[in-house]
Structure 1
Amino acid sequence: MKKQDLMSIDEIQKLADPDMQKVNQNIFAQLNSDVPLIGQLGFYIVQGGGKRIRPLIAVLAARSLGFEGASSITCATFVEFIHTASLLHDDVVDESDMRRGRATANSEFGNAASVLVGDFIYTRAFQLVAQLESLKILGIMADATNVLAEGEVQQLMNVNDPETSEANYMRVIYSKTARLFEVAGQAAAIVAGGTEVQEKALQDYGRYIGTAFQLVDDVLDYSANTQALGKNVGDDLAEGKPTLPLLHAMRYGNAQQAALIREAIEQGGKREAIDEVLAIMAEHKSLDYAMNRAKEEAQKAVDAIVMLPDSDYKKALISLAYLSVDRNY
C-alpha cells in the first residue's frame, strides 16, 4: 500500500468511532462500585487520556472479519482494563509522579489505593471475559496476565543492571507490552468467528505492532519534550532502566562512554547525566537503531495481515501499524 493511500489517525478514529464510543461507555459502566474510592480513582485514570490503541485494534480486527456483534466491545474493554490495572501497579513500583501530562493516581490517592483499585480492575476484566463464555479466550487472557506479571518482575530485576542483554530486554517488551496487543487481535478474531489462519494473522499483527509501539516509546523517552510525552524526559534513565537505546550506546561506545552509561544505569541517572548520555547516543546513532528496529516490527505487522479480505478496516490496521512508529507522543 502506497503512503498516500494510508489513513490518517483522524480517519481511523472516525471509522472506529461508533465502536469506540461503546467501548468508552462500557469502561465507565464497569467502573461502577458501591465503594466510592474505586469509582473516583478508576475514573481518574481512564479520563487521563491515553491512546486506547489496544481496544482500537480489537474493534478494527473484529470489523476486518465482517463482525458486527457486541462481543468485540467486551473484548476491547477487558483488554483495556488489563492495561489500565498494569499502569496503576507500574506507577507504584516505579514511584512515578507524572503520566499523560498530569499527576499519577498514586500521587493523588496514595500507593495503597492505587494497588487495590488496580486489583479491582483486573478482576473486573475477568468478569468481562466470563461474559464471552469462551474457555479459549479465558485461557488466552489467563496466560497473558501471567506473562505480563512475569515481565513486570523481570523488568524489576533489570533495574540498575547494566548486564541486561538485548535479548532479555526484548523478552520484557514482549511480556509487558506485546503480549496484550496479541490478545487484542486474537480475542477479536475468535469472537468474530475467524479461521485459524485469520486468528494467527491478527495475533501476529498484535505482537509486532505492540513491539514497535514500545520501541518507539523507548526512543521518545530520550527525544520528545515533556509536554508531548506526558512524563519527564529521561525517566527511564533516572529509574535505572536499561532500554534498547541505552544498551546499544553502551555496546558501541568506547570504554569511557560505556563506563559512564553503566554507572548511570547502576545508580539511576541523575538529570545532569542525561545530556552526556544523549551525546553518546547521538554519536553512535542509538536512537536511530531502536527506531529502525521499531520500523521493522511495524512492517512485520503489516505483512502479517496481508491475507485478510480487503476493507477499510484492514486499511486502518495497516495504517495504524505505520502510524505507531510515526509519532512524537
Structure 2
Amino acid sequence: MNLTEIIQPIKTELLEFERFFKKMMFSKVKLLNIISHYILRQKGKRIRPTLVFLSAKLVGDINESTFHAATLVELLHTATLIHDDVVDESDMRRGFPSLNSIWGNKVAVLVGDFFLAQGLLLSLKHKEYRFLHITSEAVRRMSEGELLEIQTSRSNDIDEEVYFRIISDKTASLISACCELGAASTTDDEVVLYKLKNFGENLGIAFQLRDDLLDYMGETSITGKPVASDIRDGKITLPLIYALKNSSRKESRRVMKIIKNNPRNKDIFYVIDFVKSYGGIDYTLKVAEEYLERAKSLISDFSDSLAKASLLKLADFVLERVS
C-alpha cells in the first residue's frame, strides 16, 4: 500500500492545494522567498492536508474553507518543524541541511513565526474562528508535550503513562486537529466532529509509536534519519520503557548508564538487542495496532465511500510505513 493509492479520491484537491499553499509562503521580502523556495524543494508526504481533505469528504463536500484548513495546518506544521530544528540543534531535515544550519537560528525562528502568522491571518480573514480555536489548542498541547519531554529527559523519570502524555500532545494533537478541521469545514455536527477529532488522536499516537519503532528497526537510507537517533539523543520511548520494566535491575541499570553517557556504536547495538530480547518491539507493535483499531472503529458507522476507504487504508499505512 502507498500514498498514491490513498490520495486518489482527493488527488485534484491536493494539486489545487499545492498552488494555494505556495502562494501563502511568499512575501515582499527577498530572503524569505529564497528560503520558501528552499523549503518547497523538500516536499514532504503531505499527510496532514490529506487528512484534512479526506475528513472533509467523509462527512460533506470539500469547499473553500477546507482549503483554508489544509493550508493552515501545513503552515503550522512547517513552522513547528523549523522551530524543532532550532530547539534540537538539528543540522538536517528530510535529507537537506536545515534552515538554522544555513541561515542561523534567528532567521529560522522568524521564518517559522511568519508561517504561523500567515495561517492565523488566513483564518481571521475568512472569519473561521473555530479553526483558530482548534489550532490554538493543538499548539498549546504541542508546546506542553515538548516541555514535558525535556523535563523528564533531565531526570530520566518516564513511565508508560508519562510517555503517552508526551506523544499524545507532541504528535497526536496536530493530527487530531487535521481531522477535526477537515470535518469542521463541512459540518457543525458536534458528534461528527468528536469522532473525527478522536480518530486523529488515535491515529497520531499509532503514528508516533511506529516512528519510535523505526528507531530500532529502520535503515538510514530509507527513513532519512540516523539509525537509533533516539538512543543517541537519550530519548526513552515505549520499546525501551517496556524492556526496562521487564528486565533485571542490573541489566536495566547498565542500559540506563549507556543512554545517559553518549553511547558509542557498540553500546547502541547492545541497547537495540536488549530491547528486542525483552519484547519491546513486539509490545510496541501490539499497542500501535490497538490504537489503530480504535481509530478505525470511530469512523466505522459512516457511510461507505472512497474517502472512508482511504482513511482506513491510511490507518494501515501508518503501521506499514518504513519512513
Q: What band does the TM-score fall into relative to the shorter chain? A: over 0.9
Match of 2:8 in 1: 14
Question: Aligned in 2, Cα 1:271/1:50: closer, same or farther, shift over 3 Å?
Answer: farther
Q: Following the alignment from structure 2 to structure 1, what is the Cα–Cα distance between the partners of residues 41 and 302?
A: 34
1:124 to 118, 123, 134: 118
Match of 1:37 in 2: 31
Q: Following the alignment from structure 1 to structure 2, what is the Cα–Cα distance between the partners of residues 158 and 271?
A: 25
Match of 1:257 in 2: 251
Q: CA shift at 1:59, angstroms?
A: 0.3
Match of 2:82 in 1: 88
Conservation of the 8 A alpha-carbon contact between 1:249 and 1:284: yes
SS of 1:108's partner is helix
Letter in 2 for 1:250: L
Q: CA shift at 1:45, angstroms?
A: 2.8
Q: How does 1:289-308 map to 2 (within 5 A)?
A: 289-308=283-302
Q: CA shift at 1:63, angstroms?
A: 1.0
Letter in 2 for 1:310: D
Letter in 2 for 1:86: T
2:162 to 148, 162, 168: 168
Q: How does 1:190-269 map to 2 (within 5 A)?
A: 190-269=184-263
Q: CA shift at 1:129, angstroms?
A: 2.0
Q: How does 1:314-329 map to 2 (within 5 A)?
A: 314-329=308-323
1:185 to 179, 182, 198: 179
Gaps of 5+ in 1: 1-6
Q: CA shift at 1:113, angstroms?
A: 1.6
Q: Following the alignment from structure 1 to structure 2, what is the Cα–Cα distance between the partners of residues 13 and 218?
A: 25
Q: Following the alignment from structure 2 to structure 1, what is the Cα–Cα distance between the partners of residues 88 and 122?
A: 28
SS of 1:232's partner is coil
Question: Aligned in 2, Cα 1:247/1:35: closer, same or farther, shift over 3 Å?
Answer: same
Q: Following the alignment from structure 1 to structure 2, what is the Cα–Cα distance between the partners of residues 103 and 260?
A: 35
Match of 2:48 in 1: 54
Conservation of the 8 A alpha-carbon contact between 1:160 and 1:268: no
- Note the alpha carbon deviations across 1:172-231, whole angstroms, 9 max, x for none: 111111111111111111110252221111111110111111110000012110011111
Percent identity between matched residues is 33
Gaps of 5+ in 2: none
- Note the alpha carbon deviations across 1:78-117, whole angstroms, 9 max, x for none: 1111111111111111122223223222222222221111
Letter in 2 for 1:186: E
Letter in 2 for 1:220: L
Larger mean Cα displacement after TM superposition, 309-318 or 45-54: 45-54
Letter in 1 for 2:91: D
SS of 2:157's partner is coil
Q: Following the alignment from structure 2 to structure 1, what is the Cα–Cα distance between the partners of residues 302 and 63?
A: 19
TM-score scaled to structure 2, two decimals?
Answer: 0.95
Letter in 2 for 1:191: S
TM-score scaled to structure 1, two decimals?
Answer: 0.93
Q: Following the alignment from structure 2 to structure 1, what is the Cα–Cα distance between the partners of residues 254 and 37?
A: 42
SS of 2:242's partner is helix
Match of 1:281 in 2: 275
Q: Following the alignment from structure 1 to structure 2, what is the Cα–Cα distance between the partners of residues 264 and 41?
A: 39
Q: Following the alignment from structure 1 to structure 2, what is the Cα–Cα distance between the partners of residues 264 and 85?
A: 33
Q: CA shift at 1:72, angstroms?
A: 0.8
Correspondence 1:100 to 2:94: yes
Q: Following the alignment from structure 1 to structure 2, what is the Cα–Cα distance between the partners of residues 128 and 86?
A: 18
Question: Aligned in 2, Cα 1:132/1:301: closer, same or farther, shift over 3 Å?
Answer: farther
Question: Aligned in 2, Cα 1:298/1:110: closer, same or farther, shift over 3 Å?
Answer: same
Across the two proteins, how many residue pairs are aligned to each other?
Answer: 323
Conservation of the 8 A alpha-carbon contact between 1:204 and 1:301: yes
Conservation of the 8 A alpha-carbon contact between 2:7 and 2:310: no
Q: Following the alignment from structure 2 to structure 1, what is the Cα–Cα distance between the partners of residues 77 and 292?
A: 21
Q: How does 1:63-82 map to 2 (within 5 A)?
A: 63-82=57-76
- Note the alpha carbon deviations across 1:290-311, whole angstroms, 9 max, x for none: 1211111111111111121211
Larger mean Cα displacement after TM superposition, 128-137 or 305-314: 128-137
Q: How does 1:126-145 map to 2 (within 5 A)?
A: 126-145=120-139
